[in-house]
């Protein structure tokens, strides 16, 4: 059974008098537990595809089933709630709160969720955040603020924040772009570990070396999928 099922997805943007076809009839199926990358040059449509997959944007036409839920028919609020429950994001720029500790940064998605979900108590939020911090190997740095952490440690905090609500899918957008090669390799190894534990993982990148870490590589160009390659054992 597919976790993600896209059929005939199209998305067009208007730039001045010109229409840009960002996605042109995209169809793709992703199974639970897959480790997939989406690669393409700047302007290829890969970021637009990630935004639609991650429920940050909507297509002009086509259908999207997430865990058999037809998200293309949902209201904005319902999509936002579904995104908060099922999807995590890791970005190149970390996006951490500068004055908050690593632990507090990780707690923030659950603090937001607690505003409409009473199952989250302060004690429960703290416990889940501690588990996520430990999962990324930063238990000894959890009380440090971002400016007291290295780039790799800040990215680990961002990853812990993205998995604290135990999402079905984790999206990583150029996750090693601000890291040196050694630290980037450590982050990719962490992603592999998370995937081995059952998280469906989708990396968006323009770097072939990063993309081929995944078990499946989707290549996109000019809004079309031009390659879909699975790793061979």
Instruction: List the domains of the chain with CATH numbers.
Output: 31-58+75-230 (3.40.50.300)
Instruction: Determine the average pLDDT of the residues in 130-149.
Output: 95
Give the mean pLDDT of the chain: 92
Instruction: Determine the average pLDDT of the residues in 159-164.
Output: 94
Beta bridge partners of 2: 31
Contact 59, 40 (CB under 8 A): no
| Confidence at 122, pLDDT banded by 50, 70, 90 | confident
Residue with tokens 């962490």: 190
pLDDT at 102 over 60: yes
Count the helix, strand and coil residues of the chain and give each as a percent rounded to the nearest 5: 35, 30, 35
pLDDT above 70 covers a percentage of the chain that reads 97
| Helices marked H in the chain | 46-53, 76-86, 102-113, 122-135, 151-163, 181-196, 208-211
| Confidence at 27, pLDDT banded by 50, 70, 90 | very high
Q: What is the pLDDT of residues 43-57, one digit of tens each?
A: 899 999 999 999 999
Q: What is the pLDDT of residues 181-214, one digit of tens each?
A: 999 999 999 999 999 999 999 999 999 999 999 9
Distance CA 176, CA 161 (A): 16
| Confidence at 117, pLDDT banded by 50, 70, 90 | low
């Amino acid at each position: 059974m597919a976790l993600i099922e896209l059929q005939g997805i199209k998305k067009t943007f208007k730039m001045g008098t010109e229409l840009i076809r960002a996605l042109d009839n995209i169809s793709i199926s992703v199974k639970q537990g897959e480790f997939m990358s989406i690669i393409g040059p700047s302007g290829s449509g890969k970021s637009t595809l990630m935004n639609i997959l991650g429920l940050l944007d909507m297509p002009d036409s086509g259908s999207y089933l997430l865990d058999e839920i037809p998200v293309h028919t949902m209201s904005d609020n319902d999509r936002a709630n579904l995104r908060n429950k099922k999807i995590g994001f890791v970005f190149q720029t970390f996006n951490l709160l500068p004055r908050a500790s690593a632990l507090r940064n990780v707690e923030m998605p659950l603090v937001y969720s607690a505003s409409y979900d009473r199952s989250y108590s302060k004690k429960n939020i703290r416990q889940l955040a501690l588990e996520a911090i430990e999962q990324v190997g930063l238990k000894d740095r959890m009380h440090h603020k971002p400016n007291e952490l290295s780039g790799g440690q800040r990215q680990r905090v961002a990853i812990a924040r993205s998995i604290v609500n135990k999402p079905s899918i984790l999206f990583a957008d150029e996750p090693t772009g601000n890291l040196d090669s050694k630290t980037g390799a450590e982050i990719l190894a962490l992603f592999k570990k998370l995937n081995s534990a059952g998280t469906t993982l989708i990396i968006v990148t323009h770097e072939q070396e990063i993309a081929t870490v995944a078990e499946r590589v989707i290549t996109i160009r000019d809004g079309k999928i031009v390659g879909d390659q699975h790793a061979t054992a």
